[in-house]
Chain A
């Protein structure tokens, strides 16, 4: 499913009556099966953009086109689980059509089998994030939005979860939009990276990564990151990292 974002601007009025510009014109499109990554400084308006793309905020200029029948899966920054429902119920409420086999597989991949009947209050943040991931994947989304799903996890766990996300994304054609601070996550998971400016956010650079995700070894990833580091912070750097390898 194609996701087309053509936001021409977003402002909001503060309590004092001043108008603040949150988003500058932003235009990009993602094809089915593509993983787009938004990278930008904190507070640049990424979350606002996600809310617009998800249809939670309709007060903006421009348009966002996604097929109306597209199923959306979302991992919020905080897990946003229902504290009064068990792990399994949380997933099933969002994805009522999920089969038992599919659910069992997801719980196995995310190592949640032992926690099916636990309440979210009994889980660590890492586990709760995995439940949020399970919920997003259980709906078999056409469009998957991940808002810093690995933030504030330790490196080892973040690494494993990142591999799990890669596995799940590879398992079906899904248009994915990932927001992250981590260049490492971006380079390992993304097909195209969008670097955003500070507020009001606009796209400074768009960097495609030519090597298929599963073929990216540690050496290739280091090379891509080195390439990106060379052009940053200069937004005008003409070279496209990674293209030479494709």
Chain B
């Protein structure tokens, strides 16, 4: 209910601003909706949305799985932490644009280059978050598992993973927004489809309604993914915690 009120307020502010500034710079909500409907009817909206979503999914899964594994290793093994730390700092501070441009130069304007570049941008934050999570693991529970001679996999699954779950969820949430921002840049620079490509076209034509139609549709999709997937996962992972934490 509160969410609806908040959304309605957003529409009111938008509409008022559109009336004040004028339709060329900021089109009103109905104008944007018209473009959305037209693009959806032609199928272009779904094509571009699908292409972008596929890239997001691939890059996200790649970065999360690789980043979590490396982060866990660096949290557990001192040597890995020492060796990996300079690389991590470098990657963390490398601008996304540099990675994307270099990837396109070295690997060509290919799908693989785009996905790799997006994944490399997300990777270091996943590593950092999971390394923190691993460092915060409760040693006394490790000892308990060791005394009771729990096999490695069972201990990992039931003792370690539940402690890492909040960190995975936090990393997934921030990662999703990061990947979503970077994927558009990658598409703008070197892909012939996707929301980023469409926004590039709209920018060249100064077609604001089209620009908003695509970005808002994608924002809506991200919102749905967040409420339908990320939040239920978090709720499930933290169901044992006392409520209202």
The chain A residues found within 8 Å of chain B, CB to CB, are 51, 54-56, 71-74, 76, 78, 80, 82-85, 89, 93-96, 119, 121, 135, 139
Contact = CB atoms under 8 A, between A and B. Distances in A.
Contacts of B242: 121
A80 B141 contact: yes
24 contacts: A55-B146, A56-B146, A73-B148, A74-B148, A76-B144, A78-B140, A80-B140, A80-B141, A80-B144, A82-B141, A82-B158, A83-B240, A83-B241, A85-B158, A85-B162, A89-B158, A93-B158, A94-B144, A94-B148, A95-B148, A96-B154, A121-B240, A121-B241, A139-B148
B5 interface: no
Contacts of A54: 147
Closest CB pairs A-B (n = 3): A84-B162, A94-B148, A84-B240
A71 B150 CA distance: 11
Interface string B95-111: 00000000000000000
Interface of B: 140-141, 143-144, 146-150, 154, 158-159, 162, 240-242
B244 to A, nearest CB: 13
Contact of B140 (A71, A72, A76): A76
A65 B140 CA distance: 24
Contacts, number: 48
Contacts of A94: 144, 148, 150
B240 A72 contact: no
B158 A119 contact: no
A84 B154 CA distance: 14
Given A93-B154, A121-B241, A71 B149 contact: yes
A158 to B, nearest CB: 23
Contacts of A93: 150, 154, 158
Given A76-B144, A82-B162, A83-B241, 8 more contacts: A72-B147, A72-B149, A76-B140, A85-B158, A93-B158, A94-B150, A96-B154, A121-B240
A176 B235 CA distance: 42
A78 B158 CA distance: 19
Contacts of B162: 82, 84-85
Contacts of B241: 83, 121
A94 B151 CA distance: 10
Contact of B147 (A56, A83, A119): A56
Given A82-B159, A119-B240, A72 B143 contact: no
Contacts of A121: 240-242
A72 B141 contact: no
Contacts of A83: 240-241
Given A82-B158, A82-B162, A121-B240, A56 B150 contact: no
B146, B147, B159, B240 interface centre (most CB from chain A within 10 Å): B147
A82 B150 CA distance: 13
A55 B143 CA distance: 10
Contacts of B144: 74, 76, 80, 94
A56 to B, nearest CB: 5
A78 to B, nearest CB: 7
Contacts of B146: 55-56
B148 to A, nearest CB: 4
Contacts of B150: 93-94
Nearest to A80: B144
A94 B148 CA distance: 6
A79 B150 CA distance: 17
A74, A78, A84, A139 interface centre (most CB from chain B within 10 Å): A84
A94 B149 CA distance: 8
Contacts of B154: 93, 96
A156 to B, nearest CB: 28
B122 to A, nearest CB: 27
Nearest to A139: B148
Nearest to A56: B143
Nearest to B158: A93
A103 B154 CA distance: 20
A119 B141 CA distance: 16
